Structure 1
Amino acid sequence: MVRMLILGTGNMAHRHAMEFASTEGCTLTAAVEIMPDRLATFCEMHSIPKGFTDLDEAIAWGEFDAAANVTPDAVHYPTTMKLIEAGVPVFCEKPLAPTYPLAAAMTQAAGEKGVVAMVNLRYRGLPVMQKARQLVEAGELGVIRHVDAAYLQSWLVGSHWGDWQTEERWLWRLSEAHGSKGVLGDVGIHILDFASFVAGQKPVSINCRMKSFLKGEVGQISGYDLDANESFVMSVGFDGGAIGTIHASRWATGYANAQKVAIFGTKGALEIEFESEAQTLRLCAVDDVHTQTWREVECPPVQGTYQSFIEAVRTGETLEPSFLRATELQHVLDLCFESDRTGATLAV
């Protein structure tokens, strides 16, 4: 039985707790949260027997086998490094760290210590994503020529996720001073991983433009400027010769949380749509390319990222998505900020 510790008790921590609690061979043993009231509520809600307000105390206690790091982005590095030093397998939320050098240091530390280190790029657990990758690897599309990918949200337009104009809980997504990397840092890492994984190619050059728009009358909440990017467009060159566009926006009216990926090759093409847990994969290949006929592809269930992590802890072998993969993605994201600042196309 793998005994899990949950570090952090924010919105995503509840998802971690539910996923691990429902995973065979896993039990929730402890939680860590610096705010005692939130800690007590979280532990009661998920029937977690032990709670700590300090990570060092939890590590000294030591009655757990692995940890899920669901702290704010800026806290991932120091807390994960403590867990790695203690020899604890870590399942960290994305992004792995705020910057590429910190992510690289975490990956190196995990490798040197020999601990399982994985990142929750949870869309890897989508059946459509894994089936699409299999089709590309099997050569069903021929040589990949073009990639088009989008991550679309609209909570700045609608009230379906709450009111960002009055709720301070959105500041981590809207204010650079609050630690936000904007839509690029929040969901850009997901769509970049999605597109490049399915295409089976890594980015080798990028040119990125991003923008923050005035929000509300003064563009502030509680003294914080709402200045983090809300839309980005990235032009990408891939190591297999393909080119493509990857973009995301929080202003995509009509979409709550949608990802769309299209991969075009010399023999065929595929389209993936994922919106609010509904997913479809369509293929146009063989003789269908002459009539532009698209056919839906059946996608069998696959193992989710949470379950993959528990398997990795049991075997001692890190599975994907790993710290190394998250570090490679963070390198691209860092270059996007540099490209936006300078206007240059940069080599990855």
Structure 2
Amino acid sequence: MKLVIVGCGGMGSYQAKKFIESGTEIVGAVDHNSAHRKAFCERYGITHSSDSFENLSAFVGLADAISCATSDISHKDCCLEGLDHGFALFCEKPLGYNKDHVNAIGDAAGKARVPAMINFSKRNIGAMHALRNVVLSKALGDILLVEIHYLQSWVLTSAWGDWRTTPRWMWRLQPSVSRGGCLADLGSHLIDLLHFVFNQVSFQESRRLVTLKDLVDTKTISLEPSLFDTFFLESSPDLPPALVDYEGTLLVGDAIPCKLHCSQVASGFDDALSLVVHGSLATVRFDSTLSRNTVTVVYTDGREETLAGPAVLSTYELFTRWVDTGISAHPDLADGIFAQNVLEDMLQCQ
């Protein structure tokens, strides 16, 4: 597969590394930031580049596919442009800025009839497949409760760079660019994992919502007044400030309650993902802070069992195989649209 990466920032660079490992040739790069684009092309030996995805026609005959690694608000236009020129599509999560955007992408992909995937990369964790197998085996008995968390702290600590000035973090907190805040960034992964394990997922209620503005108002986080309009959109009151901490309840599978928590201000957590499924006979637990390779099953009689995750193809490998051989794969655009629909219901709480 020959690929054009649209968006040469942090995610685009990570994707390039993973795609090259999967045997893909990166033949083109697109980014409006000339410094990012130049550095990206030099790093990966790319000779063809552009400053706009509106110029994707220049890559027809040179590339088989595009990867959209831009900010959320640009996904629709980037994906539609690529699909219009017959490129296979790989898109970062969430699929779009809102439901209308993702439906437009889905309609265009249906007409184009090309391979199309969304990068819900937490499915790349073999232990998640082990957990899913335990659930499907019925070894847990009747499932009583599910708990899923994705916790980070970079808005509090600036551990990955100052989000006030660093573009790759800044846009995640700008409602005009990423409408869902931590729900779009982290919650979309959680919704997809629940969809992967339980198939059915629906929103029930929101229990706790914290916005960036809440923390600035309480002086938990400092922000210069000159940046208020950038992050709080005082000129556009219809868009609420970005969520940085969210807790809510979903229903999964056969109406099983699921407690969901995602946060970018969880003190003490750098990047922690966990999924716990409680059953009448046993509980299965995945915790990335303990191991990304195994899950633990604890039975009601006190026995414990550690299960290793199977070797799985990554989303990057699956997309490459789909383009090269025609073997379809998940997560596809239908999975992206499913997650967006649940996300939209959760965002109504704002």
TM-score, normalised to structure 2, is 0.89
Match of 1:191 in 2: 190
Separation of aligned partners in 2, 1:276 and 1:81: 41
1:322 aligns with 2:332: yes
Is the partner of 1:240 in helix, strand or coil?
coil
Q: Is the 8 A contact 2:73 2:176 kept in 1?
A: no
Match of 1:346 in 2: none
1:68-217 counterparts in 2 under 5 A?
68-167=67-166, 169-198=168-197, 200-208=198-206, 209-212=208-211, 213-214=215-216, 215-216=221-222
Match of 1:289 in 2: 300
Q: Is the 8 A contact 2:178 2:184 kept in 1?
A: no
Is the partner of 2:41 in helix, strand or coil?
helix
- Per-residue CA deviations over 1:253-277 (Å, capped at 9, x if unaligned) read 1110111100122332200011498
1:255 aligns with 2:269: yes
Match of 1:234 in 2: 248
Amino acid at match of 1:315: T
Match of 1:38 in 2: 36
1:4-83 counterparts in 2 under 5 A?
4-24=3-23, 26-62=24-60, 63-83=62-82
Is the partner of 2:287 in helix, strand or coil?
strand
Q: Is the 8 A contact 1:257 1:276 kept in 2?
A: no
- Per-residue CA deviations over 1:12-32 (Å, capped at 9, x if unaligned) read 0001110111113x2111111
Q: Is the 8 A contact 1:182 1:229 kept in 2?
A: yes
Match of 1:337 in 2: 347
Aligned residues: 333
Amino acid at match of 1:297: L
- Per-residue CA deviations over 1:289-348 (Å, capped at 9, x if unaligned) read 222x4322122321111001101112334310011111111111111121x14xxxxxxx
Alpha-carbon shift at residue 171 of structure 1 (Å): 2.2
TM-score, normalised to structure 1, is 0.89
Q: Is the 8 A contact 2:146 2:277 kept in 1?
A: yes
Q: Is the 8 A contact 2:285 2:297 kept in 1?
A: yes
Q: Is the 8 A contact 2:10 2:168 kept in 1?
A: no
Q: Is the 8 A contact 2:116 2:333 kept in 1?
A: yes
Is the partner of 2:156 in helix, strand or coil?
coil
RMSD: 2.1
Alpha-carbon shift at residue 283 of structure 1 (Å): 0.9
Q: Which moved more, 1:272-281 or 1:246-255?
A: 272-281
Q: Against the structure 1 CA distance between its residues 220 and 306, is the aligned structure 2 distance closer, same or farther, given a 3 Å change threshold?
A: farther
Q: Is the 8 A contact 1:204 1:236 kept in 2?
A: yes
Separation of aligned partners in 2, 1:107 and 1:177: 22
Q: Is the 8 A contact 2:98 2:344 kept in 1?
A: yes
Match of 2:237 in 1: none
Is the partner of 2:300 in helix, strand or coil?
helix
- Per-residue CA deviations over 1:110-141 (Å, capped at 9, x if unaligned) read 12221111000001010101111122122222
Match of 2:309 in 1: 299
Contiguous gaps of at least 5 residues in structure 1: 342-348
Match of 1:344 in 2: none
Separation of aligned partners in 2, 1:19 and 1:43: 16
Separation of aligned partners in 1, 2:52 and 2:174: 27
Amino acid at match of 2:230: Y
Alpha-carbon shift at residue 145 of structure 1 (Å): 2.4
Q: Against the structure 1 CA distance between its residues 39 and 132, is the aligned structure 2 distance closer, same or farther, given a 3 Å change threshold?
A: same
Q: Is the 8 A contact 1:230 1:249 kept in 2?
A: yes
Separation of aligned partners in 2, 1:217 and 1:158: 13
1:261-272 counterparts in 2 under 5 A?
261-272=275-286
Alpha-carbon shift at residue 216 of structure 1 (Å): 0.8
Amino acid at match of 1:232: Y
Q: Is the 8 A contact 1:69 1:93 kept in 2?
A: yes
